[in-house]
Amino acid sequence: DEGGGGELLGGSAELPPWQAAAARRKRLLQRLKQRRRRQEEAPAGGGGSRAGGSGGGGGAAGTAGTLALLLGEGSKRLPQAIIIGVKKGGTRALLEFLRVHPDVRAVGAEPHFFDRNYERGLAWYRDLMPRTLEGQITMEKTPSYFVTKEAPARISSMSKGTKLIVVVRDPVTRAISDYTQTLSKKPDIPTFESLTFKNRTTGLIDTSWSAIQIGIYAKHLENWLLYFPIGQILFVSGERLITDPAGELGRVQDFLGLKRIITDKHFYFNKTKGFPCLKKAEGSSKPHCLGKTKGRTHPDIDQEVVQRLRDFYRPFNMKEERAHLKGFWGWELHTEMMLMAHPEGVGGDPSLQACAGNFLVSSGHAGGNVSVTKIC
Residues labelled catalytic: 88
92 labelled as ligand-binding? Answer: yes
Beta strands in 200-349 (DSSP E): 204-205, 233-237, 267-270, 275-278
For the chain, the first-to-last Cα distance in angstroms comes to 46
322 labelled as ligand-binding? Answer: no
91 labelled as ligand-binding? Answer: yes
297 labelled as ligand-binding? Answer: yes
314 labelled as ligand-binding? Answer: no
65 labelled as ligand-binding? Answer: no
169 labelled as ligand-binding? Answer: yes
Question: What single-letter DSSP state applies at residue 326?
Answer: S
Return all residues near 150 (Cβ < 8 A) that are at least 6 apart: 114, 115, 118
Contacts for 339-346: CB closer than 8 Å, 24+ residues apart? 339/363, 339/370, 340/168, 340/235, 340/237, 341/168, 341/235, 341/236, 341/237, 341/240, 341/248, 341/251, 342/237, 342/240, 343/372, 346/370, 346/372
Beta strands in the chain (DSSP E): 75-76, 81-85, 104-106, 131-132, 137-141, 163-168, 197-199, 204-205, 233-237, 267-270, 275-278, 359-363, 370-374
User: Taking the CB of residue 4, how many other CB atoms lie within 10 A of it?
Assistant: 8
288 labelled as ligand-binding? Answer: no
Return all residues near 256 (Cβ < 8 A) that are at least 6 apart: 81, 104, 137, 163
Annotated binding-site positions: 88-92, 169, 177, 294-298
Annotated binding-site positions for 3'-phosphoadenylyl sulfate: 88-92, 169, 177, 294-298
